[in-house]
Each structure stands twice: as structure tokens, then as C-alpha cells.
Amino acid sequence: MSETPILRVENLSKSYGDLQVLKSVSFDVYKGETKAFIGPSGTGKSTLLRCINQLTVPDSGSVYLNGEEITHSGAKINEYRQKMGMVFQNFNLFDHLTAVRNVEIALLKVKKMDKAEARKKAMFELERVGLADRADYYPAQLSGGQAQRVSIARALAMDPDVMLFDEPTSALDPELKREVLEVMRKLAADGMTMLIVTHEMHFATSFATDILFMENGEIVERGRPADIPTSPSFERTRAFMGTYQE
């Protein structure tokens, strides 16, 4: 019997009016894999992540988390969403809450942890992203890189099965990208299962298990990063990488 994928995406399609943004996208994600999605902007990468956690409802197709279908799951979707940590380009932190409060709030409100337990867990996750010493800072007092690491800690606090990153470093200055990328690299090394939409080619290819190249709503090329330089199935990826300067 083969292992059940943590996440199965099956024939996901989505249109906005006449524009078909996702065209029957399918892939499986196994525990510990890091899949990097690259490709030109406007090709449906964000829509794909949003359809996976049902922030956007796909027109057709299915998503399974640990073998259970989460599409059409109604109210239960909130439970499934907790298992999929989402990290956005613009952090989406609460400005009026300190770093540690941002991390613990869902533990208190959603997981109904008691205060001491939530604080302990929040501090553990801040430690994990190297920010224990910034626990009492407000988002405005943090650099963009630190704010993004807080939002990663917030997602990790829910003990997700899979982390979804949508261009997590795109809003950051080059010197701040690195600290966020290093946190992600460490997560991957620790066995976290991750889907990452990114333009950071060097980073994506340095530790992703798979590269998936999207164009016009389809995954047009996919394979192992090591095969990009030579494999004929990575022609478009190579061309894209050639035009994209980091």
C-alpha cells in the first residue's frame, strides 16, 4: 500500500469571467516535500494557493488533506484551514498587537488554549524564527524581515500539516530576504511540508524537492531542481530563469 499524500490537488480549475486562471491543475504533496512554484505573474499561482485552502472556491476539481476531501467541506473548512499555515507577501499582522500577541491570538481564540500554555507555545515559535527577543515589539517596530518571520511563527503555532507561502519575500529589501529564506530553509530541513510561490530562483532550487513551472493557469514543466540545467522538460523554466535577475 502506498503512502497517502498529505495534500492531493486534483484537476483544479477556476475562471474569472472569460479568463480561465487555473486549468485542471493536479499534483500530490508528500510529507516533508517542499514544492516551489515559479512562473510569470498573472499565471494563477496565488489563485492556486487560495483554491487549496478554499479562500477562493474553485469551479471544479478537488483538494484532499490527509486523504479527506476539503473541497465542499462546508463549515469544517475552518478546521482544515488550521492545518494549512498561510504566509502572505504582506505579512497580514495585527498592527495593534505585539509580536507574541500576534502569534498567540489564534491559540487563545481558535484553539482555546489557556493563557500560560498559549504564551509558552508562542514564545517557542518566536524562538524558532529567531525572534524571542522581539516578542514585545509591535509590527511597526519590526523590520519587514522580522515581521514576516513573526507571520511564519504565527502559522507554525497552529501545528500545520503543510505551510503555504505566497511570495513571502517579494515585499522585502534584498538584505532582509535572506533572513526569511533561511528560516524557510530550516523549516524544510526540519521536515516541514511546504508549498512556496517564489521568484527566488537560487533559493528555490537550493532546497526544494520539486520545481513546478506555471504558465497561463497550467503546470507546464515539473521536476527536480537538479534536472533544470540539462533536462529537455525544463526548457521554459530555463528561459524564464535566464530573464529573471535576482
Ligand X SMILES: Nc1ncnc2c1ncn2[C@@H]1O[C@H](COP(=O)(O)OP(=O)(O)O)[C@@H](O)[C@H]1O
Residue 134 partner contact from ligand X, Mg ion, none using kind-dependent CB cut-offs of 5 to 8 Å = none
CB of 217 to ligand X, least distance (A): 7
Cβ closest to ligand X, residue 22 vs residue 129: 22
Query: Which among 217, 224, 216, 195 is positioned nearest to 34, based on CA atoms?
Result: 195
Cβ closest to ligand X, residue 10 vs residue 218: 218
| Alpha-carbon span 34 to 6, nearest angstrom | 12
Query: Which among 148, 114, 117 is positioned nearest to 131, based on CA atoms?
Result: 148
CB of 41 to Mg ion, least distance (A): 6
Contact between 130 and 180 (Cβ < 8 Å): no
| Alpha-carbon span 107 to 124, nearest angstrom | 13
CB of 66 to Mg ion, least distance (A): 26
Residue nearest to Mg ion (CB): 46
Cβ closest to Mg ion, residue 48 vs residue 187: 48
Binding site for Mg ion (CB under 5 A): 45-46
Cβ closest to Mg ion, residue 54 vs residue 102: 54
Residue 152 partner contact from Mg ion, ligand X, none using kind-dependent CB cut-offs of 5 to 8 Å = none
CB of 50 to Mg ion, least distance (A): 9
The grid coordinates listed for 67 are 486523504
The grid coordinates listed for 128 are 524558532
Cβ closest to ligand X, residue 46 vs residue 193: 46
Cβ closest to ligand X, residue 41 vs residue 230: 41
Query: Which among 89, 233, 84 is positioned nearest to 169, based on CA atoms?
Result: 89
Residue 21 partner contact from ligand X, Mg ion, none using kind-dependent CB cut-offs of 5 to 8 Å = ligand X
CB of 240 to ligand X, least distance (A): 12
Residue 229 partner contact from Mg ion, ligand X, none using kind-dependent CB cut-offs of 5 to 8 Å = none
Q: How far apart are the first and last CA of the chain?
A: 43
Contacts of 49 (CB under 8 A, 6+ apart): 86, 164, 166, 195, 197
Cβ closest to ligand X, residue 45 vs residue 154: 45
| Alpha-carbon span 126 to 133, nearest angstrom | 9
Residue 244 partner contact from ligand X, Mg ion, none using kind-dependent CB cut-offs of 5 to 8 Å = none
Residue 22 in 3-state DSSP?
Answer: strand
Binding site for ligand X (CB under 6 A): 16, 19, 21, 41-47
CB of 170 to ligand X, least distance (A): 10
Sign of CA dihedral 49, 150, 155, 37: positive
| Alpha-carbon span 84 to 174, nearest angstrom | 27
CB of 43 to Mg ion, least distance (A): 9
